[in-house]
C-alpha cells in the first residue's frame, strides 16, 4: 500500500485541457477500467483511470490536476494500485459498442484495444465539445469503426453521443461499455433502459475516493452501500437502476451534491 515512485518519461497533450503522463512502470496485470491513486506531493491523493499499462490521462479541473500540469519529464508522483473492477472483456466474435465522452475515453481506449485483441468487433461512439477536444480518436479507429459527435459540429455529427445512438440498432451489439461526464452517461442509461438493453451495458463512474480500497466509505452510492472504489468503478447497467447516477455526486466529505 506504500506509493510507488513513478517518474514521468513522456507527456502528450491530447487537447487544450487534457494531457497523458507516461511513467517508468508497467502495470502488467491492469484490467481496462481500473484506476490508480495518484499522490500529488504536497497537494492531495486522487483517483485516476489508467489509459494504458504505464499512463494516466488527466483533465485539468482542480488543485491536484493543476499541480500535475506543472510537472515535466523527469518529475515524479506517487502511485498505488491498480484498484477496482474493470470492464468485462468480450468473447471472440462478439459485437462491442464503446461509448466515450470527453476524458471518459481514457479507460475505454485500452478496453477497445483489448476487445479487438480478443477477437471482438469493436465500434466506438466518441463525443466531445469540439474537434480539438476529441481524445484518442486514432486509438479507437485502429480498434474498429468510429462514429464521432461534437457539441459544436466541428467534426462528425453536431450534437451529443445520444444523437448518434438514436440512429443505431443498439440491439445488434452484445456488449456496451460507457464512460464520460455523468450527465452524458445518465442520458445513455435512460436510452438503454427505454430499449431494454441495460443487461448488456457497463458504466464507469467518476467519483472522489479517499482510500481507494473500500475502507473509508466516502464513495458509497445510495442505500445499497456499493462502494465505487471497491465494487466499481465499473458497474453493470442493472446495478445502477434506481441509483444516484445523473442525479447527484459526492464532494470530498461524502455529502450529496446535485448535478
Binding residues for [2Fe-2S] cluster: 211, 216, 219, 229
In sequence order, what are the residues at sequence separation of 6 or more whose Cβ sits closer than 8 angstroms to the Cβ of residue 227? 214, 217, 219, 220, 221
Cα distance between residue 202 and residue 197, in whole Å:
11
Which residues are part of a known binding site? 211, 216, 219, 229
Instruction: Write out the three cell numbers for 112.
Output: 477497445
Q: Are 21 and 68 in contact (CB under 8 A)?
A: yes
Q: Any idea how long the chain is?
A: 259
What DSSP element (H or E) covers 20? strand 18-23
Instruction: Write out the three cell numbers for 235.
Output: 458497474
Cα–Cα distances in angstroms (integers) from residue 101 to residues 128, 207, 249, 259, in the given order: 6, 16, 18, 17
What are the residue ranges of helices labelled H in the chain?
63-68, 105-117, 137-143, 161-165, 182-194
- Across the chain, which distance is largest between two alpha carbons, in Å? 50
Q: Are 19 and 69 in contact (CB under 8 A)?
A: yes
Amino acid at each position: 500500500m506504500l506509493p510507488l515512485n513513478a517518474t514521468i518519461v513522456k507527456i502528450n497533450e491530447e487537447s487544450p485541457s487534457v494531457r497523458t503522463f507516461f511513467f517508468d512502470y508497467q502495470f502488467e496485470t491492469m484490467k481496462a477500467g481500473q484506476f490508480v491513486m495518484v499522490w500529488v506531493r504536497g497537494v492531495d491523493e486522487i483517483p485516476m483511470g489508467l489509459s494504458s499499462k504505464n499512463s494516466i490521462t488527466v483533465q485539468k479541473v482542480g488543485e491536484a490536476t493543476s499541480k500535475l500540469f506543472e510537472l515535466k519529464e523527469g518529475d515524479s508522483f506517487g502511485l498505488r494500485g491498480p484498484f477496482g473492477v474493470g470492464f468485462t472483456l468480450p468473447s471472440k466474435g462478439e459485437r462491442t459498442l464503446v461509448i466515450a465522452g470527453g476524458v471518459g475515453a481514457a479507460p475505454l481506449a485500452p478496453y477497445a484495444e483489448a476487445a479487438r485483441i480478443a477477437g471482438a468487433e469493436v465500434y466506438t461512439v466518441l463525443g466531445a465539445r469540439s474537434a480539438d477536444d476529441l481524445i484518442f480518436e486514432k486509438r479507437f479507429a485502429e480498434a474498429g469503426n468510429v462514429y464521432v459527435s461534437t457539441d459544436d459540429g466541428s467534426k462528425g455529427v453536431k450534437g451529443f453521443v445520444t444523437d448518434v445512438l438514436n440512429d443505431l440498432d443498439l440491439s445488434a451489439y452484445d456488449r456496451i461499455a460507457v464512460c464520460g461526464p455523468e450527465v452524458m452517461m445518465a442520458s445513455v442509461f435512460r436510452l438503454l433502459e427505454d430499449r431494454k438493453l441495460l443487461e448488456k451495458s457497463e458504466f464507469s463512474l467518476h467519483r472522489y475516493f479517499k482510500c481507494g480500497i473500500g475502507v473509508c466509505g466516502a464513495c458509497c452510492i445510495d442505500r445499497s452501500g456499493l462502494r465505487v472504489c471497491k465494487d466499481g468503478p465499473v458497474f453493470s447497467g442493472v446495478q445502477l437502476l434506481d441509483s444516484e447516477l445523473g442525479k447527484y455526486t459526492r464532494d470530498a466529505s461524502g455529502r450529496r451534491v446535485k448535478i
